[in-house]
Amino acid sequence: MHLNSAQINQASIIWVLVADGARAQIYRYHKNKKIMPMRDSKREPYEQEIKRHELTPVPAMKFEVESLNDFQVSHDGRGSKIGGACSGHNTCEPHLDIHDEVQQNLVEEIADKLKQARETKAFDHLIIAAPSKILGALRHHLDTTIRDCVIAEIDKDFTNDKADALLAHLEETFAEAHLGS
């Protein structure tokens, strides 16, 4: 896990990007404080402050790769190879991995949406949790203003986890970033 020592204040808006090669979701991290009425063993009332952490999905920030059936593959990219042992021309297909291409499109879409959101000041800091291949692709495509906002990178796939389970996985990251208090 990579943790940036950025200055984080209590009013900061923190987003958590959880991605894999097929889908991604951005959550907003909230820290809520509630005053709960309590009673002790002598049945005397008192109040206790309870801190609760939440992750809520950010509207319009759910991404999925395009269907492989919808992905257009054509043979317009045929190339010719001249030379070799014989003097004839050989036709060859350029190497194209459809899965890599669709992942690339997903990463570019995420990077564009994050840039637009950052320009409107929708978030202050970003935590990214994704497998290493996607993390590397995101680093390459993210704008420098977004990269400067990243406070933590986690090399794990949490896309199948619900928000509560994800929050449990991220507790250590939040504590290291001084968000848990």
Sorted by where each begins, the domain ranges of the chain are 2-36+46-69+97-176
Q: What is the pLDDT of residue 69?
A: 62
Evaluate if pTM is beyond 0.75.
no
- Say whether pLDDT at 57 is over 50: yes
Fold of the CATH domain 2-36+46-69+97-176: Nucleotidyltransferase; domain 5 (3.30.420)
Q: What contacts 120, CB < 8 A, 6 or more positions away?
A: none
State the burial class of residue 109 (Cβ atoms within 10 Å of its Cβ: 0-12, 13-18, 19+): middle
Alpha helices in the chain (DSSP H): 98-119, 132-141, 144-149, 163-176
What count of other Cβ atoms lies within 10 Å of the Cβ of residue 102? 18
CA distance 86 to 88: 6
pLDDT at 53: 78
65-107 pLDDT, tens per residue? 876 666 555 444 444 444 455 555 555 555 557 778 888 889 9
Nearest to 26 by CA among 132, 118, 133: 118
pLDDT recorded at residue 59: 92
The mean per-residue pLDDT over the stretch 130-158 comes to 93
Bridge partners of residue 6, in order along the sequence: none
What span, in angstroms and rounded, lies between the C-alpha atoms of 110 and 118? Answer: 12
- Please write the tens of the pLDDT for every residue from 26-43: 999 987 766 767 776 676
Q: What share of the chain is helix, strand, coil (3-state, %, to 5)?
A: 30, 35, 35
pLDDT band, very low/low/confident/very high, at 9 (cuts 50, 70, 90): low
Can you say whether residue 43 is alpha, beta or left, with left for phi > 0 and alpha for psi between -120 and 50 degrees?
A: left
- 19-53 burial, b at 16+ Cβ within 10 Å, e below that, comes to bbbeebbbbbbeeeeeeeeeeeeeeeeeeeeeeeb
Check residue 36 and give its pLDDT.
67
Give the Cα separation of 72 and 156 in Å (integer).
Answer: 31
